[in-house]
Amino acid sequence: MNYKYIFGPVPSRRLGFSLGVDIVPTKTCTLDCIYCQVGRTSYKTVERKEYIAPEKVLAEFREVLKSGKKIDYITLSGNGEPTLNLKIGEIIKSIKNISPLPVAVITNGTLLSRDDVRKDLLSADLVMPSLDVAIQETFEKIDRPHPSLKIDKIIEGLVEFRKIYKGKFWLEIMLVKGINDTQIELNALKKAIEKINPDKIQLNTPVRPTYEKDVEVLSADKLKEIKEFFGEKCEILVQLDKRKHEDHVKIISILRDKQKEG
């Protein structure tokens, strides 16, 4: 059976067998990151709406569960920013009512400055926001945000969420050579991360082909140096020598293939 909103399970280093749940249409996002694997953001917005009805997602989810496939995590992620779906809180709760599997949310974190979004994510078991920079000018360069988004407010939102959230909280940083890997950028980022206090800091670099040209990866040595700089909570997600890539990008790549097929 072909599913519209569910994909996988995908084997991933961070989450084991992760079943992806896609709750916004391609490509609806608050950002238009230069390293995005899906392509340019066709609908850049900060408006929360019921982009996809919970019943449609849950009907597919029930079917997948019947197949008996090995699943370690249900992961809300996909073709854009999942917190734009106004019903994300209801979807997480319903998934957890239907199955005992843990639910993860991969988000760009931009809407966590909103009270309603913070509340919606409270019932997830794992939240994985990204934060690439702490300086507005660089934020605009690398993540090309919706004009209303300010990085200071986003960082404050992450701090507020961390205070009330009881689940696991892993922060991902996508590092692009020559943009957010300078010492000024890293110092600002470190300061922000200390305030946020995530359980883990996970470093990534865009090893897979990106839609935009000239998006350069960091060397393994540079990544190691940055890992040391961020301290013991920090780990590197990519293995540059094997060109191995992890969760978010892997999921996005599968989605892109799905788009081509259909």
Q: Does 33 bind ligand SF4 (CB under 6 A)?
A: yes
Q: Distances from the Cα of 255 to the Cαs of 60, 119, 167, in angstroms?
A: 16, 28, 27
Up-side HSE of residue 96: CA atoms within 13 Å toward CB? 16
As given in the structure block, the two tokens for residue 98 are 């239907």
Q: Which window, 27-35, 63-71, 151-159, 195-203, contacts ligand SF4 (CB under 6 A)? A: 27-35
Q: Does 192 bind ligand SF4 (CB under 6 A)?
A: no
Q: Report the largest interatomic distance among the alpha carbons of the chain, rounded to a whole angstrom.
A: 51
The residue from 15, 23, 32, 181 that contacts ligand SF4 (CB under 6 A) is: 32
In a 10 Å sphere around its CB, with 0-12 CB exposed, 13-18 middle and 19+ buried, how is residue 164 labelled? exposed
How many of the other CB atoms lie within 10 Å of CB of 182? Answer: 12
**Contact predicate 18/247, CB 8 Å:** yes
The residue from 15, 19, 21, 29 that contacts ligand SF4 (CB under 6 A) is: 29
The residue from 38, 131, 135, 238 that contacts ligand SF4 (CB under 6 A) is: 38
Q: Which window, 34-42, 50-58, 209-217, 232-240, contacts ligand SF4 (CB under 6 A)? A: 34-42
The residue from 31, 71, 179, 215 that contacts ligand SF4 (CB under 6 A) is: 31
Describe the strand order of the beta sheet including 103-107 as a list of residue ranges.
6-12, 16-22, 73-77, 103-107, 126-129, 168-174, 200-204, 234-236
Q: Does 36 bind ligand SF4 (CB under 6 A)?
A: yes
Cα 52 from Cα 249, distance rounded (Å): 22
Total residues at the site for ligand SF4 (CB under 6 A)? Answer: 10
Q: Does 121 bind ligand SF4 (CB under 6 A)?
A: no
As given in the structure block, the two tokens for residue 255 are 């989605």
**Strand pairing of 103-107 and 234-236?**
unpaired
Q: Does 128 bind ligand SF4 (CB under 6 A)?
A: no
Q: Does 217 bind ligand SF4 (CB under 6 A)?
A: no
Question: Measured from the CB atom, is 29 or 218 closer to ligand SF4?
Answer: 29
Q: Does 41 bind ligand SF4 (CB under 6 A)?
A: yes
Q: Which window, 35-43, 150-158, 190-198, 237-245, contacts ligand SF4 (CB under 6 A)? A: 35-43
The residue from 18, 26, 83, 108 that contacts ligand SF4 (CB under 6 A) is: 108
Residues 6+ apart with CB under 8 A from 145: 30, 31, 32, 110, 139
Q: Does 80 bind ligand SF4 (CB under 6 A)?
A: yes
Q: Does 206 bind ligand SF4 (CB under 6 A)?
A: no
**Contact predicate 258/234, CB 8 Å:** no
Q: Which residues bind ligand SF4 (CB under 6 A)?
A: 29, 31-33, 36, 38, 41, 80-81, 108
